[in-house]
Amino acid sequence: MHITKASYLISSPEVDKCPPADRPEYAFIGRSNVGKSSVINMICRNQKLAKTSRSPGKTQMINHFEISSVSKEGAKDFFKWYLVDLPGYGFAKVSQAQRKQWEKMIENYLRKRENLVMVFILIDGRHEPQKIDLDFVNQLGEWQIPFSLIFTKADKETQRVVSKNVKMFLEEMRKTWQFLPAHVVTSAIKQQGREKLMGMISDMNKEIPG
Ligand code: GTP
Ligand code: MG
């Protein structure tokens, strides 16, 4: 798959305000500052597309990006889909009220958005399994929402440490899950994991009648 165009469309404060659900949609969620916006930019090869920041809590709404792709460079079989950048969870500096509002917005979005094909849950590859991520994974399971895992910032640790963290996370999941989700290790700096992510999205797009 080759992306021919990627552009910002709209930021919505709630699911009912999102653009028409007329094409497949893939959403990125995870802890604040984990690298959601950076992974979207890596996929689209545009560092300025989704706003990134050193300080957590940058992304606050449901942000839609409109993507056009073809099966391979030069082909004319254009296909349109959405990427969605979501605000992060676990940001310490927000009030209880703001947190509740965030939870409601995300729950409504995840459970009501009809064209949502897959949620990518991002996990910081530098750390051992964190309760907040496992809780979120289990929540999606309860809601029966399909998801895959993306382990981010692989360039900031040795491969050995990242592999160990991935293994530990999956082992933690295995205690309660019968099947384990697909996972990808990424580095936005090194463009690591891009091909695998593109392949996954391409395969899912093919399942959807054009
Ligand atoms: P919020 O929207 O605030 O929740 O953050 P986010 O999850 O969208 O994270 P964002 O993409 O803004 O990245 C946060 C910080 O981590 C930025 O300073 C990025 O440059 C940095 N970062 C993201 N991905 C990587 C990566 O793969 N490697 C390295 N070294 N830094 C990364
Ligand atoms: Mg962001």
Task: Answer whether residue 110 is part of any domain.
Answer: yes
Ligand 2 geometric centre to CA of 124 (Å): 14
CB of 38 within 6 A of ligand 1: the answer is: yes
Check which CATH number belongs to the domain holding 173 and give it. Answer: 3.40.50.300
Non-local CB neighbours of 158 within 8 Å, separated by 6+ positions? none
Segments of 99-194 assigned E as strands: 116-124, 147-152, 183-185
- Provide the 8-state DSSP code for 31: B
Task: Answer whether residue 210 is part of any domain.
Answer: no
Q: What is the pLDDT of residue 210?
A: 57
Q: What is the dihedral of CA 69, 144, 106, 17, to 10 degrees?
A: 60
- Render pLDDT for 30-52 as a digit per residue (tens, 0 to 9): 999 999 999 999 999 999 999 98
Segments of the chain assigned E as strands: 2-12, 25-30, 62-70, 79-85, 116-124, 147-152, 183-185
> Within 13 Å of residue 11, how many CA atoms lie on the same side as its CB?
9
- Render pLDDT for 77-118 as a digit per residue (tens, 0 to 9): 999 999 999 988 887 777 888 888 888 999 999 999 999 999
Pocket test for ligand 1, best of 29, 32, 34, 38 (most atoms within 8 A of CB): 38
CB of 63 within 6 A of ligand 1: the answer is: no
For the chain, the straight-line distance linking the first and the last C-alpha, in angstroms and rounded, comes to 15
CB of 127 within 6 A of ligand 1: the answer is: no
* Domains identified in the chain, total number: 1
- Its domain, for residue 111, covers 2-205
Ligand 2 geometric centre to CA of 31 (Å): 10
Task: Answer whether residue 41 is part of any domain.
Answer: yes
